[in-house]
Structure 1
Amino acid sequence: MTAVTSRAPLEGIHVRRSNAAAETSRWSALAVLCAGQLMVILDGTIVNVALPSIQQDLGFSSSGLAWVVNAYLVPFGGLLLLAGRLGDLIGRKRVFIAGLCLFTAASLLCGVSQEPAVLLASRFVQGIGGAVTSAVTLGMVVTLFPQPKERAKAIGVYSFVQSAGGSMGLLAGGALTQATSWHWIFFVNVPIGIVAALSAGRVLASEHGVGLDKGTDVVGALLVTSALMLSVYTIVETTDYGWTSTHTTSFGAAALALLLAFVVRQAKATHPLLPLRVFRARNVSGAMGIQALMVAGMFSFQFLCVLYLQKVLGFDETHTGLGIFPVSVAIGALSLGLSPKLIARFGPRAVLLPGLSLIAAGLAVLGRVPAGGSYAVDVLPALLPLGIGFGLAMPSLATLAMSAATPQDSGIASGMFNTMQQIGSAFGLAVLSTLATSYTESLLGDGATNTSALTDGYQLAFRIGSGLVAAALLLAATVLRSVTTVQRPLAATKPAAENATR
């Protein structure tokens, strides 16, 4: 009797130590996932600041220079959905590490490029690696943290990386380009990618996926990948061809036809690539549409505010990055601190609505920036509500988008969420930049000064961006349902649940 009694406290200590080790392992895994995601997100904006240097060094034409960005966006947006499903089928850890390795290798090739064609080809491969890495990240996060409060905290960290990474990229791009050369915006990914891939192999739990025999819809994969890549290509090329050109309408019609064929295929396929049950939940479907509208509107800030600071206020690359940095600080303060608590207490919809309101208000303030403006008076007051609003909205949307995903579908849900973000980004960039440029050229033709015409063009884009976010707010208010806890996954099966905890 004595032996049994004396052994009990020791067993309790072992259990507590085991639980503590498991908890540390989960947060270490989250850190690795976010490190890989941050590297991919940074690359989306770090290149923008270095474009003038790249053009001068490699001799790109104006139209060719745009493809330094587009060559990355097209495969990235087109492959997210397929990569997410592959994660469900063969294991998200395998897909994540493969994406990191491909992205890192392509970054090295980008850095050593001395010819335009080599850089563009490397950027295309980099986009593939970025898609493969990003597609499964959010799915792994929600699988690691099944409890609502912990999941809210983890999604807050993920959302901070998603939201603030772009602003950090502007700062890092300006600093690296000015201090060294544009080559280093790619070289810096190499050591980070190697460490992240090695760490992922050590701290991420191994998983086998549900098996290729559960979803090898080759036809569906070809249809959706072609549709998404063609959609992104059509949107980004509108800056050269216009929205009503034969090029845009013909390619857009082809992309729509492929997408419709994919939907029909998924409704009939025995093992669909994208199970349509993912969209049965009203909050999930609504979150996807809201995500696209919000990101499209926010691009008027992420892209055009940089141009306003540089071309109107005369900021250099480094000061531009520093000027945008308050947004990252605000996003971090909300995403990492207050937002998870508010979501756990009031539910994601209640947190999302004021977040979208603040974003729309911030863009509306930017819609009034004058030609002879001041950063402290005219720009900073808009950046603070933008940062706070995005810090509230992004974790809420991520929570809603993943709320009904079963463990076996979390990869495809994650890929779909990121796909809507990329489609929204490409659409917002194409529409808002085209409208701003067209209005500026019209004003210049009427005799306006260059600074005044540029400012008026940016104002128009900011106001339209505010309108897009207002539309997202209306959609959120009418479509989303109030919930105070994370919804149960649809059709959660026992084997899938066992696989998630394996």
Structure 2
Amino acid sequence: MPETAETKRSAAVLQPDPGRWKALVFIALAQLMVVLDATIVNIALPSAQQDLGISDGNRQWVITAYALAFGGLLLFGGRIADLWGRKRAFVVGLAGFAAASALGGAATGEAMMLGARALQGAFGALLAPAALSLLAVTFTDAKERAKAFGIYGAIAGGGGAVGLILGGFLTEYLNWRWTFFVNIPFAVVAAVGAYLVIREPAGGRNRAALDVPGVVLSTLGLVALVYGFTRAESEGWSDAGTIGMFVASVVLLGTFVLVEARVKAPLLPLRVLTDRNRGGVYLSLGLAVIGMFGLFLFLTYYLQVVKGYSPVLTGFAFLPMIAGMIIGSTQIGTRLMTRVPPRLLMGPGFLTAAIGMLMLTQLEVGTSYAGLILPAQLLLGLGMGTAFMPAMSLATHGVDPKDAGVASAMVNTSQQVGGAIGTALLNTIAASATTAYLTDHAAAATTPDAQKLLQLQGMVEGYTSAIWWAVGILAAASAIAVTLITTGKPDTGAVAGSGADDEVRVPVVAH
């Protein structure tokens, strides 16, 4: 039978990109940079605050400005990637992130620093969904997809801990400004590599007009939600401003859903959310991130304040969790992803992480690192690595290529909102438990040494109380993954939503 132009085009679409593994290197590098930035600046913040004269009341905005811009603009960034093309959005996002990082590193005052952080968040919101959607449409074979998402999942999960190590090194041995400047070589290498290597799959660009009301409502609604939780941490849950933010968020996001159900070309097609499997991934992933903040937040303080570790040593103390994530993601998850349904990786994975977190509820002032903290971190890393990889893959599976960017943005949004909730909720629980403990035991501390010990015991009591909540949240994530996610064992064909037209797509899962 003679080949027509259509059959040639379809065959070309199905051919895997020969440079896909090189592309993965640059996609992973960009993802590492974005994840690093979530924690690397935290270590440098005290030094930067002193140098730039930032007040105690405003220092939280160095973190909050990034979180608000990133969380608020993610859906917009994902849709821009669909409209522009993922490769172009990826390269522009990298260039903008590098420029914003240079501005932050060269900051001479508070306003310049906060502006740089907001710009970092804005370009991160363009970059992150473009990276994940590029991965989703570049790797179309189920076995190769498993390996690629295994690597990506390990970076997405472990990059925050790497940021603690790198941030500690740069702050202690160079200068806090290098926690910003270090992004520039990452971004330049990733952008040049992406420009030369990544090939945009055919038929994947969305030509529809931009949904401006959807952009405005979703951005304001997400900013209000993230800021509400951030404000709750500092001002309290009953504060009028905090309540006002939550009410505004509910109204704005509720209106957003109504608008999306009616417009011709929605920013977030509701079919992306209403799919049972994707909804299960977004919900369980968001809950898992809340639980993970229990580890990063309290273990960092425990090691530095209670145990007296330096910033660099604290960073290295997180290495077992990074090792566990790499093993869970690239060995366990990758090997089993094509053999078992995703829920049988995600459910047990989150439950294993919950067991690791449960071990940390036994923390005391004199707890041995090797005896308790190290094995707990290994379990956490193994569980999260095993669960993250199929979650990232399933979140973008079966999505129309034209919606891949916004589906990827939803993954990042669930993580960002989960992080904001985790920080506010768990911090509040810890602070309340510490205050109650100190009040109950104050009479017994009659000497300066006894009072110092009481302060440390009160801190640890607060940490363990919050970690108990994190255990429950991780267990809930496991239950949701097992209950809602019904996708069957993957086949070995090309993945739906890979960029091919409907008639040449091969489903990856059996329902």
TM-score by length of 2: 0.90
2:431 corresponds to? 437
On the 8 A contact 1:313/1:374 being kept in 2, the answer is: no
Q: Deviations over 1:31-76 (max 9, x none)?
A: 1111111111101111111122122222222231111111111110
Matched, 1:197 2:191: yes
2:8 corresponds to? none
2:389 corresponds to? 395
Distance (Å, rounded) in 2 between the aligned partners of 1:60 and 1:460? 32
2:489 to 480, 484, 488: 484
2:463 corresponds to? 458
On the 8 A contact 1:214/1:271 being kept in 2, the answer is: yes
1:494 to 490, 501, 505: 501
Q: CA RMSD in A?
A: 2.2
Seen in structure 2, the aligned counterparts of structure 1 residues 493 and 147 have a Cα distance that, compared at 3 Å, is: closer
Matched, 1:86 2:91: no
Matched, 1:306 2:300: yes
Distance (Å, rounded) in 2 between the aligned partners of 1:273 and 1:312? 47
Matched, 1:344 2:338: yes
Secondary structure (helix, strand or coil) at the match of 2:314 reads helix
Q: Deviations over 1:215-251 (max 9, x none)?
A: 4111111111111111111111111221122111111
2:480 to 475, 478, 495: 475
Q: Deviations over 1:255-313 (max 9, x none)?
A: 11000111001101111111111133211111110011111011000111111111111
On the 8 A contact 1:405/1:489 being kept in 2, the answer is: yes
Higher mean displacement: 85-94 or 55-64: 55-64
Report the residue type matching 2:229 in the other structure: I
On the 8 A contact 1:290/1:475 being kept in 2, the answer is: yes
Q: Deviations over 1:417-467 (max 9, x none)?
A: 110010001100111012112221232233171100000000011111111
Deviation at 1:191, TM superposition (A): 1.8
On the 8 A contact 2:290/2:470 being kept in 1, the answer is: yes
Report the residue type matching 2:455 in the other structure: N
Secondary structure (helix, strand or coil) at the match of 1:254 reads helix
Seen in structure 2, the aligned counterparts of structure 1 residues 159 and 167 have a Cα distance that, compared at 3 Å, is: same
Seen in structure 2, the aligned counterparts of structure 1 residues 208 and 23 have a Cα distance that, compared at 3 Å, is: closer
Seen in structure 2, the aligned counterparts of structure 1 residues 382 and 298 have a Cα distance that, compared at 3 Å, is: same
1:244 corresponds to? 238
Matched, 1:222 2:216: yes
Secondary structure (helix, strand or coil) at the match of 1:164 reads helix
On the 8 A contact 1:330/1:391 being kept in 2, the answer is: yes
On the 8 A contact 1:309/1:315 being kept in 2, the answer is: yes
On the 8 A contact 1:92/1:209 being kept in 2, the answer is: no
1:407 corresponds to? 401
On the 8 A contact 1:348/1:397 being kept in 2, the answer is: yes
Higher mean displacement: 86-95 or 472-481: 472-481
Deviation at 1:338, TM superposition (A): 2.5
1:15 corresponds to? none
1:268 to 262, 268, 274: 262
Alignment identity in percent?
39
Matched, 1:416 2:410: yes
1:383 corresponds to? 377
Unmatched tracts of structure 2, length 5 or more: 1-11, 446-453, 506-511
Distance (Å, rounded) in 1 between the aligned partners of 2:497 and 2:193? 32
Distance (Å, rounded) in 2 between the aligned partners of 1:56 and 1:488? 52
1:167 corresponds to? 161
Deviation at 1:24, TM superposition (A): 5.0
Secondary structure (helix, strand or coil) at the match of 2:103 reads helix
1:63 corresponds to? 57
1:335 corresponds to? 329
On the 8 A contact 1:90/1:209 being kept in 2, the answer is: no
Higher mean displacement: 487-496 or 455-464: 487-496
Distance (Å, rounded) in 1 between the aligned partners of 2:30 and 2:88? 14
Report the residue type matching 1:218 in the other structure: V
On the 8 A contact 1:106/1:123 being kept in 2, the answer is: yes
1:38 corresponds to? 32
Distance (Å, rounded) in 1 between the aligned partners of 2:101 and 2:212? 29
On the 8 A contact 2:344/2:482 being kept in 1, the answer is: no
Distance (Å, rounded) in 2 between the aligned partners of 1:490 and 1:333? 28
Higher helix share: 1
On the 8 A contact 1:406/1:496 being kept in 2, the answer is: no
Report the residue type matching 1:484 in the other structure: K
Report the residue type matching 2:485 in the other structure: L
On the 8 A contact 2:48/2:176 being kept in 1, the answer is: yes
TM-score by length of 1: 0.91
Q: Deviations over 1:472-497 (max 9, x none)?
A: 11212222215101796489982897
1:285 corresponds to? 279
1:127 corresponds to? 121
Secondary structure (helix, strand or coil) at the match of 2:362 reads coil
On the 8 A contact 1:344/1:485 being kept in 2, the answer is: yes
Unmatched tracts of structure 1, length 5 or more: 1-17
Seen in structure 2, the aligned counterparts of structure 1 residues 262 and 27 have a Cα distance that, compared at 3 Å, is: same
Seen in structure 2, the aligned counterparts of structure 1 residues 89 and 459 have a Cα distance that, compared at 3 Å, is: same
Q: Deviations over 1:374-429 (max 9, x none)?
A: 21122112111001001101002112212231211111110011100100011001
Distance (Å, rounded) in 2 between the aligned partners of 1:308 and 1:209? 51
Distance (Å, rounded) in 2 between the aligned partners of 1:298 and 1:239? 17
On the 8 A contact 1:226/1:255 being kept in 2, the answer is: yes
Deviation at 1:334, TM superposition (A): 2.2
1:152 to 125, 146, 149: 146
On the 8 A contact 2:40/2:163 being kept in 1, the answer is: yes
Seen in structure 2, the aligned counterparts of structure 1 residues 491 and 24 have a Cα distance that, compared at 3 Å, is: closer
Distance (Å, rounded) in 1 between the aligned partners of 2:274 and 2:128? 24
Higher mean displacement: 479-488 or 370-379: 479-488
On the 8 A contact 1:89/1:211 being kept in 2, the answer is: yes
